[in-house]
Amino acid sequence: MSNYPLLSLAIWIPIGAGLLVLMTGGDRNAPLARMLALAGAVAGFLVTLPLWMGFDVAQGGMQFVELHGWIPRFNINYHLGVDGISMLFVILNAFITIIVVAAGWEVIQSKVAQYMAAFLIMSGLMNGIFSALDGILFYVFFEASLIPLYLIIGVWGGANRVYAAFKFFLYTLFGSLLFLVAQLYLFFLSGGSFSILDWHKLPIDLGPQIWIFLAFLIAFAVKVPMWPVHTWLPDAHVEAPTGGSIVLAAIGLKLGAYGFLRFSLPIAPDASHELAGFVIALSLIAVVYIGFVALVQADMKKLVAYSSIAHMGFVTLGFFMFSALAIEGALVQMISHGFVSGAMFFCIGVMYDRLHSRQIADYGGVVNTMPKFAALFMLFSMANAGLPATSGFVGEFMVILAAVKFNFWVAFLAATSLILGAAYSLWMYKRVIFGAIANKHVEELTDINGREFAILAVLAICTLWMGLYPQMFTEVMHASVNDLLRHVAVSKIQ
Amino acid sequence: MFDNFVIPDLLPAAPEIFLAAMAMAILMIDLFVKDSRRTVTFALTQLTLLGAAAIQIYTSDSQITYTFSNMFVDDMMADLLKLFVYMTMIVVMFYSRAYLFDRPEMNKGEYYVLALFATLGMLVMISANNFVTLYVGLELLSLSLYAMVAMNRDSLASTEAAMKYFVLGALASGMLLYGMSMIYGATGTLEITELAEALYQGESNRTVLVFGLVFLVAGLAFKLGVVPFHMWIPDVYHGAPTPVTLLIGSAPKLAAFAIVMRLLVSGLITLAEDWQGMLIILSVLSMAVGNLAAIAQTNLKRMLAYSAISHMGFMLLGIVTGVVGGDVRYAINAYSSAMFYVITYVLTTAAAFGMILLMSRAGFEADQLDDYKGLNKRSPWFAGIMLMIMFSMAGVPFFVGFFAKFSVLQAVVAAGYIWLAIVAVLFSLIGAFYYLRVVKLMYFDAPTDETPIVAGLDMRILISANGIAVAVLGLFPQLIMTLCAFALLRSL
């Protein structure tokens, strides 16, 4: 175990780098801003690596814990730590930050420093969310991370960006404000503690548990997003610049799901059992109905956005079946979705940069002019559809396997996702990439350059690595997931 | 003839005495200052405020001292609030300087003297332990402000605002007096500490008392500017010259908080059940009307006026949760939350009006929302500062506004009013919309006006410091929170 405050570094290095990038000022210094941003992102990633290397897989509890008083007046602490559930997300987040900085390298030409800084600051804040063990600290990071994304969508977004930015912000704020009230209630119930770990042990009657659970559910369901509070996501994705979409899909959506595991299940286990059917029903609607919705999209980004909702439906489904296989499957799905959807959005961004259109109808026969791109895009489309040997398969398969044990019909409906996923991903791929060259714009396309190739190649390696050897990821989770399940199995009602 | 005359202990009131003497001296000195040398008056005013603050710190102790036959009280709460009043006034005067010097017709000595008298009024209100003292302080503040609102006498809007402010303010003072006289009738005392004692004995006529209380609360609500007694706020904020709006919108809120504490908490705590019910209604209405009406505004000063209404409503939540079913366990927690809320609100709102002053120049008021379009392009630094101010007002962390809302909400939840907490957060959500809109104008829109910002270095530094304070206090809110709790613990 390292003696360095690794988690603090993972949070504050990107934020500090972001502030530094801001100081480079106007677009005259854009090259400097880019270099600094990249350096900050890489440094932020490097400090997270010891987390994995030094991680004790046999231990289910919190590791790399840092505990300092922050606001003693309300017993709020600067309390950080990661377990097998959250550790991988910190690394994933730091990794995606590098991708995002690289993805915006040449594409963003106006207000470069602010763009890069927004992503770096957001990255630090999101690391804070994944490692906070104090309710208010979590909340503060959770809320604060809205600001950079609001600006990213609003400043560098598409035509309808203002609407999308407001919708995103207000939707999320709505959920999180009720979450705050629930936290305050827990604070008094626990006799004055904001420690999440204390709340895990706190006995609560079923009535209050249900209210707490519902308040949490609203906050996290909006963030995941679950049907029917998902409508902000397609708007946000469509309007956001490529980098914004990548971060939103790869990390942003994971925050809500992570909240379920850190708050809902362990704090209100009885309510979770009580309302599991409800959440499972919502998840299945997301998987099946949103899968169909994705099928008919004409806009590529919208299609991937809806497919993200469907994939996240799988995640919430996995959480509420209360088996180790399902939860680990869901976690694998979350990480895999981080790679795959990030890559999908990047691919769409690559095409958009060249043609300034996201409409499927404007493309066709891209393989003729962009063969390298077509090959990589193929891999990610397959991964999105859940093809074996890609990371997309592993998580879905684990969840479906657990679902068969849980209830046949749940498994049956969940499994339709494999068909629907293949349908919308591959059909889109076919229409965009194959066929005759659709128009002269497509004819003029140039294949991906070295930077784009490098980004896609790295993501492709991750996707395949996780698909072929998921063991490395799941072994980290085992102990923590088992602890969580043991904890959830015990009633808190006294 | 003077047998009973005892020279009162002047020490607890030393800052007030100093301020009053200096205000009168400056009034005289300014007669000999040419219009072009107004900096002298400005400097003297600032020195006076600094001097008063220094005396305050020097004479402050953690005892409760009564003087002037118990009409005047000096306790920790008063010390703390007064220090914030001096600080706010110094900042206000700095922000106003460039604006006034650009507009010589308004840059008269009266402005500075009236500001000092207004400050004196606030100090007296904060330290009042008697209905009469309280009323005198309130009127001193109000009369100074009425005149200041009309400073720009050629402006129709200003004159109208002053008129409206005066008429409604006088009405409110009348109500307050009426309520006080009823309570005097029921208890036979004007002194707040004696009043609490008398009520504790419980021999007073309850009907008369509650009747008086209604008028008292109505009068206070006028001064705080909460719905349905808020009508003057938007017009006065809008019509007054921006430096005066800044003054009205900032430090007097601290004094208004103090008189609410003195009258309702120190004096009428036994009637808490009654006034808490009234204040809950006022609070919910203020949050509703303030937040909803702010959305419709196109003028930033007017928007901030409605935002002030909603913020005062939110602050009242801290005051209504002090006593729960006769149990005063949570009182310090609740009142100190409200106090923290007011202090941070004043800090933030000073910065917001400071931004308007920074953006304005001779012949251009910069008070329309559209004037902020594309500010990020014109000046990324100040757009960033304004962004922090707006998010702080909306209650988004890491800014201090979040912890203000947080501390009030925890008091509400502690008192068991979970529904009230939910109502409050839902209205904050609505409120977030119009603060976000300002950010949208600054960041998402293209500028319509490319004129560079003309403002002196002192102004730039001060407003930057103010904005950064909003962020830094958001990271470390502990100090002021504890100060508030400690001050109230020693005062109640």
Greatest mean pLDDT among A20-24, A61-65, A472-476, B127-131: B127-131
Which residue does chain B place closest to A212, by CA atoms? Answer: B418
| Count of Cβ atoms closer than 10 Å to residue A231 Cβ | 13
Mean local confidence (pLDDT), A73-83: 88
- Which among A141, A166, A177 has CB closest to B436? A166
pLDDT digits (tens, 9 = 90+) for A407-440: 888 888 888 888 888 888 888 888 888 877 778 8
Please state, for a pLDDT cut of 90, what percent of chain A lies above it.
Answer: 11
- Which among B410, B477, B482 has CB closest to A187? B410
pLDDT digits (tens, 9 = 90+) for A468-489: 888 888 888 888 888 888 888 8
Q: What is the pLDDT along chain B (492 residues), one digit of tens a residue?
A: 566 777 778 888 889 999 999 999 999 998 888 888 888 889 999 999 999 999 998 888 878 888 888 888 888 889 999 999 999 999 999 888 888 888 888 888 888 999 999 999 999 999 999 999 999 999 999 999 999 998 887 888 889 999 999 999 999 999 999 999 998 988 888 888 888 888 888 777 788 888 889 999 998 898 888 988 888 999 999 988 899 999 999 999 999 999 998 888 888 888 888 888 889 999 999 999 999 999 989 999 999 999 999 999 999 998 888 887 777 778 888 898 999 999 999 999 999 999 898 888 877 888 888 888 888 888 888 888 999 999 999 988 889 999 999 999 998 988 888 899 999 999 999 989 999 999 998 888 888 877 777 778 888 899 999 999 998 988 888 888 888 888 888 877
Give the Å distances, CA to CA, from A37 to A84, A452, B158.
29, 18, 50
CA atoms within 13 A of residue A203's CA, in its CB half-sphere? 5
Which residue does chain A place closest to B443, by CA atoms? Answer: A155
Whether residue A465 is predicted with pLDDT greater than 60 in this model: the reply is yes
In this prediction, residue A2 has a pLDDT band, given cuts at 50, 70 and 90, of low
pLDDT digits (tens, 9 = 90+) for A291-303: 889 888 888 888 8
Q: Tokens for A303?
A: 């299609």
Asked if B406 lies within 8 A of A70 by C-beta distance, the reply is: no
Q: Which residues lie below 8 Å from residue A477, measured CB to CB, with a gap of 6+?
A: A84, A85, A88, A327, A328, A331
Asked if B444 lies within 8 A of A165 by C-beta distance, the reply is: yes
Asked if A73 lies within 8 A of B402 by C-beta distance, the reply is: no
| Count of Cβ atoms closer than 10 Å to residue B457 Cβ | 7
Asked if B398 lies within 8 A of A140 by C-beta distance, the reply is: yes
**Alpha-helix runs per DSSP H in A132-264:** 135-144, 146-156, 161-189, 196-201, 206-223, 232-239, 242-247, 253-259
Mean local confidence (pLDDT), A321-327: 88
Asked if B397 lies within 8 A of A140 by C-beta distance, the reply is: yes
Q: Helix B76-102 crosses helix B242-249 at what angle (to 10 degrees)?
A: 170
Which residue does chain A place closest to B480, by CA atoms? Answer: A73
Positive or negative torsion for Cα A87, A92, A98, A104: negative
In this prediction, residue A323 has a pLDDT band, given cuts at 50, 70 and 90, of confident
Asked if B433 lies within 8 A of A170 by C-beta distance, the reply is: yes
Whether residue A1 is predicted with pLDDT greater than 50 in this model: the reply is no
In this prediction, residue A353 has a pLDDT band, given cuts at 50, 70 and 90, of confident
| B15 Cα to chain A: minimum distance (Å) | 31
Asked if A181 lies within 8 A of B485 by C-beta distance, the reply is: no
| B482 Cα to chain A: minimum distance (Å) | 7
Asked if B391 lies within 8 A of A140 by C-beta distance, the reply is: no
Distance CA(B261)–CA(A110), nearest Å, equals 52
Q: Is the peptide bond before B398 cis (omega within 30 degrees of 0)?
A: yes
Farthest-apart Cα atoms in chain A, separation: 72
Interface of A with B (CB under 8 A): 22, 25-26, 70-74, 111, 114, 136, 139-141, 143-144, 146-147, 150-151, 154-155, 161-162, 165-166, 169-170, 173-174, 177-178, 180-181, 184-185, 187-188
Pick from A64, A39, A47: which is nearest to A9 by CA? A47
pLDDT digits (tens, 9 = 90+) for A147-206: 998 998 888 887 888 898 898 899 888 888 889 999 999 998 888 888 888 888 888 888
Taking each continuous run of H as one helix and of E as one strand, the counts in chain A are: 23, 2
The residue among A26 and B163 whose pLDDT is bigger is: B163
Burial B339-378 (b: 16+ CB within 10 A, else e): bbbbbbbbbbbbbbbbbbbbbbbeeebbbebebbbbbbbb
Asked if B409 lies within 8 A of A181 by C-beta distance, the reply is: yes
- End-to-end CA gap in chain A: 38
Interface of B with A (CB under 8 A): 376, 380, 384, 387, 391, 396-398, 402-403, 406-407, 409-410, 413-414, 418, 421-422, 425-426, 428-429, 432-433, 436, 439-440, 443-444, 477-478, 481-482, 485
Rg, chain A, Cα only: 21
CB B253 within 8 A of CB B261: no
DSSP string for A360-385: GGG---HHHH-HHHHHHHHHHHHHHH
Question: Would you state the torsion angle of the CA atoms of residues B463, B469, B474, B480, taken in this order, to the nearest 10 degrees?
Answer: -130
DSSP string for A7-65: HHHHHHHHHHHHHHHHHT-SGGGHHHHHHHHHHHHHHHHHHHHHHHHT--TT--S-EEE
What φ, ψ does residue A179 adopt, rounded to 5°? -60, -40
Q: Tokens for A258?
A: 């992570």
| B165 Cα to chain A: minimum distance (Å) | 36
Distance CA(A258)–CA(A145), nearest Å, equals 15
Could you tell me if residue B70 is left (phi over 0), alpha (psi between -120 and 50 degrees) or otherwise beta? Answer: left
Asked if B406 lies within 8 A of A185 by C-beta distance, the reply is: no
* Helix (H/G/I), strand (E/B), else coil: B103: coil
Note the ipTM here. 0.89
CB B410 within 8 A of CB A187: yes
Positive or negative torsion for Cα B205, B211, B214, B215: negative
* Residue B2: per-residue pLDDT: 63
Residues of B in contact with A161 (CB under 8 A): 444
Asked if B444 lies within 8 A of A154 by C-beta distance, the reply is: yes
